[in-house]
Structure 1
Amino acid sequence: MQYRRFGKTGLQLSVFSVGTMRSLSTAEIFTKTVSAAIDRGINHIETARGYGQSELLLGQTLQQLGAATRDRLIITTKIPPTADAASMAAQIDESLQRLQIDAIDCLAVHGINTPEHLAWVQAPEGCMAALQAAQQAGKIRHIGFSTHGSLELITAAINTGLFAFVNLHYYAFFRRHEPAVKLAQQHDLGVFIISPADKGGLLYTPPARLRELCAPFEPLHLTYRWLLSQPAVTTLSIGPAAPDELAYPLAVCDRTESLNAAEVAALARLEAAAQETLGSDRCQQCYACLPCPESINIPEVLRLRNLAVAYDMAEYGQYRYRMFENAGHWFSGRKGNRCTDCGDCLPRCPSELPIPELLRDAHQRLNGPDRRRLWG
């Protein structure tokens, strides 16, 4: 296992972190999984008050493992932004009680996803006042934020200077947030990548075409290597549901060097295949089409279409697409079938894409039954 400095926190984090959002069937399996991760060199465990019983289970596990093990671990929990300091203060105390620890190493404001959320943080009587008071009292050590928001919002949050780390989406198949990662590095923020296996492409179960294009590498390992080759990235989240699910993702835990020639060639094959397959219908992800009068998240809809057409990643596309209109500010925007053919986006697209036509095609390929999220 390799370790990296988590920005201005000064903490040395393992380049893989255990995230506990994924359901673990029993307290016993939870403890065994966390213990196995620690045995493999992982020293960072991430939870949230919104992850069901995760904080309670982690607290019980820490008690079983003992003080010596706790002292070697870095614990992160996350609490949603609140408009007032009192609510945040109460929730910090509740998380400390559940976790059964004296101090939370890293506390992230969970989901700065809208301008309103950032305004709550910055308000004189908002949640940052409670976070800073708790920090001064020794209840928490470092303050950061997680986000599913836009690049512009993430940039604005980093530029406040209020945070020491950021949890965000950034993957080989989603590079929109590269400027935010670079900005975080300039501000010396630690960078935690949210679920690159799952949110980054359902890469535990890749389609045959994607595996063929990535060969001799597994798609999962190639995207991990792409991330870990970037010094600005500190740690990647994995979400094992049992100890035996650790071996596959951690196969590259010692590989943080620059990409080698074979890895670069595999990524080039992916790019060439996308261009050949999509041709003039390929969305270049410039975001010039926004805003849409119908609030369709045009770039994301077309990104999912790109992946489905180019790499047969239809299952992933369907998984993400059905979150539109079903996950609130955690996955903003409306589905492609909401297009009214108003044409506002057409003159703004530098690729001159037939956007309404592509939105309908994406909807036909990717729409499926609504499903509830694991946590709300």
Structure 2
Amino acid sequence: MQYRRFGQTNLHLSVFSLGAMRYLADSKNAYQTIEKAFSLGINHIETARGYGKSEEYIGEAIKTGLSVPRSQFYLMTKISPTPDAETMGQQINESLQRLNTDYVDCLGIHGINTAEHLEWVKNKNGCMQAVQEAVKDGKVRHVGFSTHAPLDVLLAAINTDLFTFVNLHYYYFFQRNLPAIELAAQKDMGIFIISPADKGGRLYTPPDKLRELCQPLTPLEMNYRFLLSDSRITTLSVGPANPAELIEPLKVADSVGELTPAEINVFHRLEQEQNTVLGTDKCSQCFACLPCPENINIPEALRLRNLAVAYDMEDFSKYRYGMFENAGHWFPGMKANRCTECGDCLPRCPENLAIPDLLKDTHERLQGNAGRRLWG
């Protein structure tokens, strides 16, 4: 296991962090998963107030007694932004009680996803007042935020200079947030990548075509190497449902150097395949088509189409497409069948894509069961 400095926090975190969204079957499973993570070199546990009973299970493990003392591992929890300080203060205290600890190393404001959330944070009498009091009282050591926001909101949140770290989405198959990586690094913020195996493409169950294109790597290794070869990134979330699911991801926990020629060839092959298969229907994700009068997230819908058509990633694309209209500000936008063919987007597209036709095709390919976030 390799370790990296988490920006200006000066914590040295393992390059994989134990995300606590999924090992929630019971407290015994949580304890065993934490112990396995420690044995493999992970020193950072990341959870959230909204992750079911995760905080309670971690607290029970701490109370029972872990093989690593509390002072020798790092703990992050996340709490959603509130418009007032009192609510945030109560929730911080509740989380500490659930976690059976006097302090958390990192507190993330969970889901600064909209301009309104950002205004709550910037309001001097809002939730950050309680957060700053908790820092003064020693209950919180470092403050950051997590986000599923559009890039402009994400960059604005980083530019508040209120935070020492950021948890965000960024993967080989989703590079929209690269400017946020660059800005956070300039400000010496710790950078935590959310769910690269799942949100990065459900790469633990890849289609045969993607598996073949990534040889000699697996698709999961491909994405991990894409991220870990970037020294600006501190740590990647791994979210096992049980101890055994830690084994495969952590095989690359020491592979943090520059990309090798063989790995670079994999990325060239992936890019070439997408260009060849999609041809003039490829959406390059410039976002010039927005805003859409019907509030369709055109770039994201077409990104999912890109992946389904180019790499046979239909399962992942259907899974994410099903989140539209069902996950609120965590995954905003209407489904592609809401398109009225008004044509507003057409003159803005530098690639002259037939966007209404592509949206229709996207919906026909990807419509399925409605999705939702694991924790609402």
Conserved? CA contact 2:292–2:345, under 8 Å? yes
Match in the other structure for 2:138 = 138
Residue correspondence of structure 1 range 148-167 to structure 2 within 5 A? 148-167=148-167
Give the distance between the partners of 2:166 and 2:336, measured in 1 at CA: 30
Match in the other structure for 1:179 = 179
Query: Once the 2 structures are TM-superposed, how far is the Cα of residue 26 of structure 1 from its aligned partner?
Result: 1.8
Match in the other structure for 1:224 = 224
Q: Deviations over 1:37-96 (max 9, x none)?
A: 000000000011100100000011112234952111100000000000000000000001
Conserved? CA contact 2:23–2:29, under 8 Å? no
Query: Once the 2 structures are TM-superposed, how far is the Cα of residue 372 of structure 1 from its aligned partner?
Result: 3.8
Q: Which runs of 5+ in 2 are unaligned?
A: none
Counterpart code for 1:374: L
Give the distance between the partners of 2:311 and 2:335, measured in 1 at CA: 21
Match in the other structure for 1:2 = 2
Give the distance between the partners of 2:31 and 2:127, measured in 1 at CA: 32
SS class of match (2:69):
helix
Match in the other structure for 2:348 = 348
**RMSD of the TM alignment (CA)?**
0.9
Give the distance between the partners of 2:62 and 2:2, measured in 1 at CA: 23
Counterpart code for 2:286: C
Match in the other structure for 1:92 = 92
Residue correspondence of structure 1 range 280-295 to structure 2 within 5 A? 280-295=280-295
Match in the other structure for 2:27 = 27
Match in the other structure for 1:363 = 363
Give the distance between the partners of 1:11 and 1:364, measured in 2 at CA: 48
Q: TM-score, normalised by structure 1?
A: 0.99
Counterpart code for 2:305: R
Counterpart code for 1:165: F
Moved more, 279-288 or 60-69: 60-69
Give the distance between the partners of 1:343 and 1:354, measured in 2 at CA: 9
Residue correspondence of structure 1 range 1-376 to structure 2 within 5 A? 1-66=1-66, 69-376=69-376
Give the distance between the partners of 1:27 and 1:131, measured in 2 at CA: 29
Q: Deviations over 1:209-265 (max 9, x none)?
A: 000000011000011000000011000001111111111000000011000000000
Counterpart code for 1:371: G
Give the distance between the partners of 2:272 and 2:59, measured in 1 at CA: 48
Q: Deviations over 1:321-363 (max 9, x none)?
A: 0000000000011110000000000000000000000001000
Counterpart code for 1:22: R
Query: Once the 2 structures are TM-superposed, how far is the Cα of residue 298 of structure 1 from its aligned partner?
Result: 0.2
The alignment covers a number of residue pairs equal to 376
Query: Once the 2 structures are TM-superposed, how far is the Cα of residue 23 of structure 1 from its aligned partner?
Result: 4.5
Counterpart code for 1:42: I
Give the distance between the partners of 1:42 and 1:101, measured in 2 at CA: 19
CA 351–235 in structure 1, closer or farther in 2 if over 3 Å, else same: same
Give the distance between the partners of 1:69 and 1:366, measured in 2 at CA: 47
SS class of match (1:359):
helix
CA 309–336 in structure 1, closer or farther in 2 if over 3 Å, else same: same
Query: Once the 2 structures are TM-superposed, how far is the Cα of residue 284 of structure 1 from its aligned partner?
Result: 0.5
Give the distance between the partners of 2:275 and 2:8, measured in 1 at CA: 40
Q: Percent identity?
A: 60
Give the distance between the partners of 1:25 and 1:66, measured in 2 at CA: 19
SS class of match (1:347):
helix
Give the distance between the partners of 2:211 and 2:124, measured in 1 at CA: 51
Query: Once the 2 structures are TM-superposed, how far is the Cα of residue 365 of structure 1 from its aligned partner?
Result: 0.5
Give the distance between the partners of 1:10 and 1:286, measured in 2 at CA: 35
SS class of match (1:273):
helix
Give the distance between the partners of 1:153 and 1:204, measured in 2 at CA: 30
Query: Once the 2 structures are TM-superposed, how far is the Cα of residue 123 of structure 1 from its aligned partner?
Result: 0.5
CA 185–217 in structure 1, closer or farther in 2 if over 3 Å, else same: same
Give the distance between the partners of 2:68 and 2:338, measured in 1 at CA: 56
Q: TM-score, normalised by structure 2?
A: 0.99
Give the distance between the partners of 1:8 and 1:113, measured in 2 at CA: 23
Counterpart code for 2:298: I
Q: Which runs of 5+ in 1 are unaligned?
A: none
SS class of match (1:13):
strand
Give the distance between the partners of 1:177 and 1:307, measured in 2 at CA: 18
Give the distance between the partners of 2:268 and 2:37, measured in 1 at CA: 33
CA 357–189 in structure 1, closer or farther in 2 if over 3 Å, else same: same
Counterpart code for 1:357: D
